[in-house]
């Protein structure tokens, strides 16, 4: 898929289980273009956020609000919501991108740029991000290809923290928009989708200190969660995350094509080599994950660092949608209720206030 496909085609595959034929691909693209604008009243929601609001907080809130603008798609009556799945999923995939671009424009005090129905998915996103009212952004094929690759590599990934959150919320018969909103909240954590931003912060700090990464590796070996080598390790991959390898290779190609020599890429490679020779990481099977190099590509595309996790959310939306439908359409589905081993206090009598010390 990374070699031959693009994000929209991969999204179709993840949602429908098969690659689209030409007619299906055309129809899916038409739906995404049709739903690219957001309801004009949504502008007021943006106005309510203080400057500096994190784009992921905005994205989660506004994805949830889609159910208010499209109540017929978010009835919380599973059969009805499943009957409208095609429209709801196209709205989610198309509008998550528009909302992300609008949150960027708002954060820069720039006017919103309306989507163009003539543009493909990625080109339209970059248009909404970087065009000006007086001048259109010109997207090169290399940039569009790099963004497609980034998004499709993030499109789905088993029962990761945020996808499991979507399933948990969906198991209560909550609608797709609400469930995806919960997933986006889970994704924002620095140990999950927030890691791509944390990686770039780490690389920038190493660059600014003129460090060769030794200090960060030493701190990461302390074992404390707050000092971890961001972009390394994985809950299930105990070897190289295949996505990290593809993105790492793409970094060289994209930056060369764009004529960019990013010192952070050299630092990342030095850090990777040092960690891969260090027994602490090798013995714990800690290798680069999808987040280790992804920030380098996004930086090359001009995406600001505080939008990196939002880009992950755009890419992961097809996976959230597909998992929501799997839960919603399970005829034997039950509400999720993780088992627990209670280790708290045993029976205790109520102590009146006067006797408490």
**Does the footprint of ligand SDX cover residue 191 (CB under 6 A)?**
yes
Cα 169 from Cα 182, distance rounded (Å): 7
228 or 325: whose CB is closer to ligand SDX?
Answer: 228
| Contact status, residue 291 vs residue 165, Cβ threshold 8 Å | no
Q: Does 232 sit near ligand SDX (CB under 6 A)?
A: yes
Category of 109 on φ-ψ map: left (φ > 0), alpha (ψ -120 to 50) or beta: left
The span of 111-119, 131-139, 221-229, 345-353 binding ligand SDX (CB under 6 A) equals 221-229
| Residues between 283 and 302 with contacts to ligand SDX, criterion CB under 6 A | 284, 286, 289-291
**Residue 271 makes contact with ligand SDX by CB under 6 A:** no
When asked if residue 167 is in the footprint of ligand SDX (CB under 6 A), the reply is no
Closest contact distance (angstroms) between CB of 314 and ligand SDX is: 13
Q: Is 231 in the site for ligand SDX (CB under 6 A)?
A: yes
Distance set, CA 323 to CA 95, 171, 203 (Å): 19, 10, 34
For ligand SDX, the closer of residues 109 and 223 by Cβ is 223
Given 279, 291, 349, 357, which residue is catalytic? 291
Q: Does 228 bind ligand SDX (CB under 6 A)?
A: yes
Provide φ and ψ at 264, rounded to 5°.
-70, -25
Write down the catalytic residue from 35, 81, 234, 241. 234
* Residue 183, SS3 per DSSP: helix
Is residue 244 at the binding interface for ligand SDX, with CB under 6 A as the rule?
no
Q: How far are the Cα atoms of 76, 161, 169, 179, 354 from residue 234, in angstroms, in the given order?
A: 34, 12, 24, 24, 51
Which C-beta is closer to ligand SDX: that of 86 or that of 158? Answer: 158
Instruction: Name the one range near ligand SDX by CB under 6 A: 22-30, 109-117, 224-232, 336-344.
Output: 224-232
Q: Tell me: does residue 317 bind ligand SDX (CB under 6 A).
A: no
SS3 123: helix
Backbone angles phi, psi at 159, to 5 degrees: -100, 60
State the CB neighbour count (10 A cutoff) for residue 86. 13
168 binds ligand SDX (CB under 6 A): no
Can 241 be counted among the known catalytic residues?
Answer: no
- Residue 234 annotated to the active site: yes
Question: In this chain, which of 54, 95, 106, 157 binds ligand SDX, going by CB under 6 A?
Answer: 157
Q: Is 155 near ligand SDX (CB under 6 A)?
A: no
Q: To 5 degrees, how large is the angle CA 88–CA 124–CA 250? A: 105
Alpha-carbon span 104 to 350, nearest angstrom: 53
Nearer to ligand SDX, 82 or 219 (CB): 219
Q: Where are the alpha helices (DSSP H) in the chain?
A: 7-16, 22-34, 42-47, 55-69, 78-83, 85-107, 121-130, 141-153, 161-170, 176-187, 195-209, 214-220, 242-257, 263-276, 279-283, 290-300, 308-328
By the rule CB under 6 A, 160 interacts with ligand SDX: yes
Tokens of 42: 């949504």
> Site for ligand SDX (CB under 6 A): which residue of 230, 265, 271, 301?
230
Nearer to ligand SDX, 24 or 270 (CB): 270
Q: Is 311 in the site for ligand SDX (CB under 6 A)?
A: no
Q: How many whole angstroms separate alpha carbon 254 and alpha carbon 141?
A: 11
Nearer to ligand SDX, 101 or 271 (CB): 271
The residues annotated as belonging to the active site are 234, 291
Residues that bind ligand SDX in the complex, under the rule CB under 6 A:
157-158, 160, 191-192, 195, 220, 223, 228-235, 284, 286, 289-291
């Amino acid at each position: 898929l990374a070699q031959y496909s693009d994000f929209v085609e991969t999204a179709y595959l993840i949602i429908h289980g098969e690659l689209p034929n030409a007619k299906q691909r055309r129809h899916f693209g038409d739906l995404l273009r049709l739903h690219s604008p957001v309801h004009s009243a949504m502008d007021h929601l943006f106005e309510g956020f203080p400057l500096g609001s994190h784009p992921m907080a905005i994205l989660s809130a506004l994805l949830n609000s889609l159910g208010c603008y499209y109540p017929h798609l978010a009835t919380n009556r599973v059969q009805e919501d499943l009957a409208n799945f095609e429209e709801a999923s196209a709205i989610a995939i198309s509008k998550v991108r528009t909302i992300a671009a609008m949150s960027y424009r708002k954060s820069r005090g720039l006017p919103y740029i309306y989507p163009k129905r003539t543009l493909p998915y990625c080109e339209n996103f970059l248009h909404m991000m970087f065009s000006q009212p007086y001048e259109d952004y010109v997207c090169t094929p290399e940039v569009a290809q790099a963004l497609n690759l980034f998004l499709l590599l993030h499109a789905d990934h088993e029962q990761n923290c945020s996808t499991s959150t979507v399933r948990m919320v969906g198991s209560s018969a909550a609608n797709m928009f609400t469930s995806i909103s919960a997933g986006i909240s889970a994704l924002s954590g620095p140990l999950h989708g927030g890691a791509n931003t944390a990686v770039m912060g780490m690389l920038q700090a190493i660059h600014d200190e003129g460090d060769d990464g030794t200090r960060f590796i030493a701190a990461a070996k302390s074992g404390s969660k707050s000092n971890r080598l961001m972009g390394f390790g994985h809950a299930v991959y105990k070897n190289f995350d295949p996505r990290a390898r593809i993105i790492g290779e793409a970094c060289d190609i994209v930056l060369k094509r764009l004529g960019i020599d990013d010192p952070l890429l050299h630092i990342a490679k030095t850090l990777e080599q040092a960690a891969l020779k260090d027994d602490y990481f090798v013995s714990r099977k800690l290798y680069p994950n999808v987040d280790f190099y992804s920030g380098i590509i996004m930086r090359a595309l001009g995406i600001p660092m505080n939008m990196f996790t939002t880009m992950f959310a755009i890419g992961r939306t097809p996976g959230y949608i597909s998992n929501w439908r799997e839960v919603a359409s399970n005829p034997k589905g039950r509400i999720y209720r993780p088992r627990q081993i209670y280790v708290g206090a045993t029976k205790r009598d109520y102590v009146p206030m006067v006797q408490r010390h």
